[in-house]
Each structure stands twice: as C-alpha cells, then as structure tokens.
C-alpha cells in the first residue's frame, strides 16, 4: 500500500507545481494593489444662453489610455450666458460662484491644488466681441478675477474659435466611443475598424459640423489635421455663426415682422410682445433691421400654425446662390459630401427628442422627420399646451427649431435618406455629456498623446501566454501520468 502511494507521489508533485504556477499567473498583481488615485479637471462651458460646469476624473496611472476620462459631476450656472453681462461684467463672475463652490465639494480637498480649471466661451462671446470688443474683454477679465480666487490651477478664460469648437466636439465624441484606439480583451492596443463618427453641434448662437473625409479640402479654412495616438486624421469642419438655435429664432422673428403680420412658425392662439431693442441688438438680425426704429417700442405678434409659410421663412436663412468651389453647403461655404455616421447633440438632440417623446412621432427617416415637423407646426397653442404642460413659452418655438433642424440637415448639409440613417441624436455617451468641453480639456492637458501607446503591455502579455501554456502542459502531463498509474494499480486487483 505504502509503495502504491509513493509511486503516485511524482505525478502529484508535478500537478501541484503546475497548479501553483497557474494560480500565481492568474492572480492579477496590478489589481491587488490599492486602488489608483484619481485626477480631476474642470471646464466651464460658457455658451451663449447659459454656462455649464463639467468636472472630469480619471485614474492617475492610466493617463494616456483612451476612454478613461469620464464625467464626475456637472453644474448648470443660474441665469444667462456670460455674454449677457455686457452691461455688468462683475455679474458674470458672480454668476459662477455657486457652481465653483460645488466644485470645491466635488473635488477632494487634497486634489484642489493640482486640478486644472478652464473657461471656454463660444459663439455668444464671439458675437459680443464683434459688436463690442471692450465689453467682451471686460467680461473675460471679470470671470478671470473670480476664477483666480479659487484654489484650483486656473489656466485661463478664452473665446474658442468656431473651428476649435467643432473639432473638440468631434474629439469628445470619438474619444468617448473609443473610436481612436482601444485596449482590447487580448491586452493589446488596436485601432477599431469602424472609423470615426462625425459630430454635429447646435448651440445657442452657432452650429458646427465636423467629420473625417478623404475628399481634398478646397478651402484650407475648413481643414484640420490631427495626430492622435500615432494616427493622422484629416477632418472637415465648419462653424456657422448666427445659425445657433436662439439666433435662428431671433432671425425668424425679425423676418416674420418684415414679411407677415403674424409668425407662421408660432402656434395659432399664441401671441406675445416683442421689444424691438432686444430683437435688433444681435448682429445676426442686422440684415432685417429697419433703417429707423424705436428700440423701446413693443410689437405684438401672433402665431399662425402655418407649416408651409414657416418652411418658406426658414428657407430664407440659407443662401445657395453662389459657390466658388466644386460644391458648397450654403452661404458659399465649401463642404465635401457628408460621409460616415454622425452623432448630433445639444439642441439637435432637444429638437428631435421633443418630436419623439412629447409628440410621440417617429423620426427614424428623413420622410418621418419631415412629416413630424409638419405635424408640430400645425398644432394650435392649446393643443401644444395639452401635450406638454409646464413647458412655458419655449413651447411656441419647437416648430421653428424642428423646421430649422430638418432644413439644415437636408438642404443645408445635404443629408439624403441613406446618410440620415447613420445619424444618432444623443446628448450623452455613458455618463458623460457630449460637447466640446471634454475634447478641449483632453487637448489642453495633453491627455491624448500624438504617439501610439507603448508596446509594454503587448510584450508583457505574450510572455504571460507562453508561461500559461507551459504550466497547462505541465498540469496535463501530470494528469496523464496519474491516470496511467491509477489504471496500472487497479487492473491487477480486478483479475
Ligand atoms: C503619458 O504620455 C506622456 C507623453 O506621451 C508621458 O510623458 C507620460 O509619462 C505618460 N503618462 C503615463 C501615466 O503613462
Ligand atoms: C476679439 O476679436 C478680435 C478680432 O477678431 C481678436 O483678435 C481677439 O482675439 C478677440 N478677442 C478674444 C478675447 O478672443
Ligand atoms: C420711442 O417710444 C416711446 C414710447 O414707446 C416714446 O416715449 C419715445 O419718445 C420714442 N422715442 C423716439 C425717439 O421716437
Ligand atoms: C446670397 O449671397 C449672394 C452672394 O454672397 C448675395 O449677392 C445675395 O444677396 C445673397 N442673397 C440673399 C437672399 O441673401
Ligand atoms: C393641420 O391640421 C388640420 C386639422 O387640425 C388638418 O385639417 C390639416 O390638413 C393639417 N394641415 C397639414 C398641413 O397637415
Ligand atoms: C491640441 O494641442 C496641441 C498642443 O498641445 C496643438 O498643437 C493642437 O493644435 C491642439 N489641437 C487642436 C484641435 O486645437
């Protein structure tokens, strides 16, 4: 008996060694360490209609990985955008205080000092800088004074160009969807084959379209080349100032006053007073401004619920009469044919979401979108109020907003039924808001390296595989030996 047990010893030992090796290999040493510390970054997105604060976070030891930075929290600043404080610049700084106090609580105290803080202003401030450069400088100086009073690493308040705004929105979209590079299950970096997604942003004062294209850029102003993770991307981008939702609504209102005695995009049964000073203050309505008008006059305007006239009014926003390139979107701006899939966010999302969820209309095709727009524009004020109680006077503008989105996509950018099938309307990817803010921070903090991530993980992995196979072979050999031993000891007793 003792001899039998002894003869089993060598294969048993072999099996034990194999098992031990496998176990040692499979204990994930990296994960056993204490959890990695987090880093934070703060971006204030100073839009034309309001300011939002985003706090991002990422594990400090994975800084250069894609898809690692996510949204920690956010805060909506109360009141208007910073450009609305042109007459009271200190008010612009003061308006940010509530959200900054939240940031002090949201970011752990020991991280305050090293946390970068940026303020980026967009088309609202671009317009203010056009009408009054001094006022825009005063507003930026005022918000700078406020932001410097906080312990964060404040890195400046700037006005983004339309080009930057478009490109950073595109970077955000593709970063969040991990379209640049991906750390796969096999422990290797690889470039996903699906390509990048185009980005369409509709703000309050401007709209941006950005997509990767193989077509040559006929206007250098519309081409941006980016080197991300070792890959070169050629991206088409354009920002249309005065084509943001709020400015479009003002322009339509000004044209309605000019051409009709009512507003065809507003619902029948709705009427309101328009203060001429407010309507004509923006450079976007300059073309429709009468030679003389009394700014303190109020004009009463009623809605008409007239989809056809409303479409005509919105068509007037686009000028197709001249193009000095092989092809243009509108207003003489070069644009290659739209290619690939797109994500449409911010006010694009809100317009389509209203049609889908409040009106209960399908918008999966251009034909459905067109029909949905006619339906919403044909509602009376009481019908709309019954559908969406509590929306207030904004409800009157959903027809014009949806009509604009539909015309911009089809006639403006040239989406046909097939291309439209690749457009998704979304405001978040995971927990992170889609917009230019994240891309802006990633760029300014160098969180997207130009070179591909090192092969360290790749080589680590292959030696790991070799060892794993070795120990599995050892274990199998031991098992085979054991089995044979067991058979040979059994058979004599069976006879
Ligand atoms: C990230 O990349 C930069 C340069 O590409 C490098 O200096 C830095 O050490 C990297 N950080 C980490 C955590 O790998
Ligand atoms: C305002 O516009 C001028 C002219 O385009 C430009 O040089 C300046 O940098 C702008 N101001 C800011 C703060 O961006
Ligand atoms: C503008 O209208 C207001 C009343 O609405 C009037 O008191 C004022 O005198 C007018 N100003 C001019 C320059 O006509
Ligand atoms: C369209 O643009 C052309 C060239 O820029 C201009 O001459 C024309 O007046 C514009 N038409 C409208 C309706 O604005
Ligand atoms: C608008 O609605 C009315 C009924 O409320 C309907 O008779 C009419 O055909 C509709 N118009 C359009 C353009 O859909
Ligand atoms: C991102 O930052 C780099 C410098 O770090 C700069 O050269 C590049 O132009 C920036 N990208 C964009 C889109 O602005």
- The reply to whether 231 sits in an annotated binding site is no
pTM, two decimal places: 0.85
List phi, psi (to 5°) of 225.
Answer: -110, 130
| Nearest alpha carbon to residue 343 among 427, 418, 404 | 427
Catalytic residues: 165
Please, are residues 176 and 429 in contact by the beta-carbon 8 Å criterion? yes
| Nearest alpha carbon to residue 438 among 158, 98, 52 | 52
Residue nearest atom 9 of ligand 6, based on CA coordinates? 226
- The reply to whether 207 sits in an annotated binding site is yes
Domain spans in the chain, listed from the N-terminal domain onward: 2-23+456-494, 38-160, 162-435
pLDDT above 80: residue 176: yes
For residue 339, the model assigns a pLDDT of 95
Query: What separation in Å is there between the alpha carbon of 378 and the centre of ligand 5?
Result: 6
Lowest-pLDDT range of 33-37, 58-62, 347-351, 481-485: 33-37
The model's pLDDT over 278-327, given as tens digits with 9 standing for 90+, comes to 999 999 999 999 999 999 999 999 999 999 999 999 999 999 999 999 99
No. of H helices and E strands in the chain?
17, 17
List phi, psi (to 5°) of 222.
Answer: -105, 5
Q: Determine whether the shortest distance from the Cβ of 64 to ligand 1 is under 6 A.
A: yes
Mean pLDDT of all residues in the chain? 90
Q: Which residues pair with 39 in a beta bridge?
A: 58
Question: Which is the closest atom of ligand 3 to the Cα of 294?
Answer: 1
- The reply to whether 239 sits in an annotated binding site is no
**Alpha-carbon span 28 to 16, nearest angstrom:** 20
Higher pLDDT, 18 or 99: 99
CATH number for the domain running over 162-435: 3.30.420.150
Q: Do domains 38-160 and 162-435 have the same CATH topology?
A: yes
Neighbours of 423 (CB within 10 A): 21
Q: Determine whether the shortest distance from the Cβ of 321 to ligand 3 is under 6 A.
A: no
For residue 283, the model assigns a pLDDT of 96
CATH number for the domain running over 38-160: 3.30.420.40
**Alpha-carbon span 125 to 140, nearest angstrom:** 9
Long-range CB pairs of 453-459, under 8 A, 24+ apart, other chains included? 453/64, 453/65, 453/181, 453/189, 453/229, 457/183, 457/187, 457/188, 457/189, 458/187, 458/188, 458/189
List phi, psi (to 5°) of 378.
Answer: -100, 0
Q: Which whole-number Å values give the CA distances from 418 to 244, 353, 410, in the listed order?
A: 26, 21, 11
């Amino acid at each position: 008996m003792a001899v039998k047990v002894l003869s089993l010893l060598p294969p048993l030992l072999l099996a034990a060694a194999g098992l031990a090796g496998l176990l040692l290999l499979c204990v994930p040493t990296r994960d056993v360490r204490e959890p990695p510390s987090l880093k934070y970054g703060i971006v204030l997105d100073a839009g034309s209609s309001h300011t939002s604060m985003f706090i991002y976070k990422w594990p400090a030891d994975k800084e250069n990985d894609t898809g690692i930075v996510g949204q920690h929290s956010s805060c909506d600043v109360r009141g208007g955008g910073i450009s609305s404080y042109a007459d009271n610049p200190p008010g612009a700084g003061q308006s940010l205080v509530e959200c900054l106090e939240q940031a002090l609580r949201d970011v752990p105290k020991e991280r305050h000092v090293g946390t970068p803080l940026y303020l980026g202003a967009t088309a609202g401030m671009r317009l203010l800088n056009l009408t009054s450069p001094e006022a825009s400088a005063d507003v930026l100086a005022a918000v700078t004074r406020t932001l410097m009073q906080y312990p964060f690493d404040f890195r400046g308040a700037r006005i983004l160009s339309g080009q930057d705004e478009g490109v950073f929105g595109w970077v955000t979209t593709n970063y969040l969807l991990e379209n640049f590079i991906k750390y796969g299950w096999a422990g290797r970096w690889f470039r996903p084959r699906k390509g990048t997604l185009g980005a369409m942003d509709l703000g309050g004062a401007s709209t941006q379209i950005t997509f990767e294209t193989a077509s040559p850029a006929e206007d250098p102003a519309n081409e941006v080349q980016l080197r991300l993770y070792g890959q070169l991307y050629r991206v088409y981008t354009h920002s249309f100032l005065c084509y943001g939702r709020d400015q479009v609504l003002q322009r339509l209102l000004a044209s309605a006053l000019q051409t009709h005695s009512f507003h065809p995009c507003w619902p029948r049964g709705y009427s309101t007073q328009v203060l001429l000073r407010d309507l004509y203050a923006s450079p976007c309505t300059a073309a429709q401004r009468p030679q003389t008008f009394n700014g303190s006059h109020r004009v009463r305007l009623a809605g008409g619920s007239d989809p056809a006239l409303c479409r005509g009014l919105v068509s007037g926003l686009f000028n197709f009469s001249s193009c000095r390139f092989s092809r243009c979107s509108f207003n003489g701006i070069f644009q290659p044919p739209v290619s690939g899939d797109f994500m449409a966010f911010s006010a694009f999302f809100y317009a389509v979401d209203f049609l889908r969820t409040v009106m209960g209309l399908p918008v999966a095709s251009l034909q459905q979108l067109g029909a949905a727009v006619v339906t919403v524009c044909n509602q009376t004020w009481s019908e709309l109020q019954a559908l969406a109680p509590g929306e207030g006077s904004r409800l009157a503008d959903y027809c014009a907003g949806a009509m604009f989105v539909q015309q911009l996509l089809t006639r403006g950018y040239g989406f046909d039924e097939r291309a439209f099938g690749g457009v998704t309307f979304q405001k978040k990817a995971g927990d992170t808001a889609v917009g230019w803010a994240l891309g802006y921070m990633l760029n300014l903090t160098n969180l997207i390296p130009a070179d591909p991530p090192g092969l360290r993980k790749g080589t680590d992995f292959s030696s790991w595989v070799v060892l794993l196979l070795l120990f599995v072979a050892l274990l199998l050999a031991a098992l085979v030996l054991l089995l044979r031993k067991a058979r040979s000891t059994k058979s004599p007793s069976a006879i």
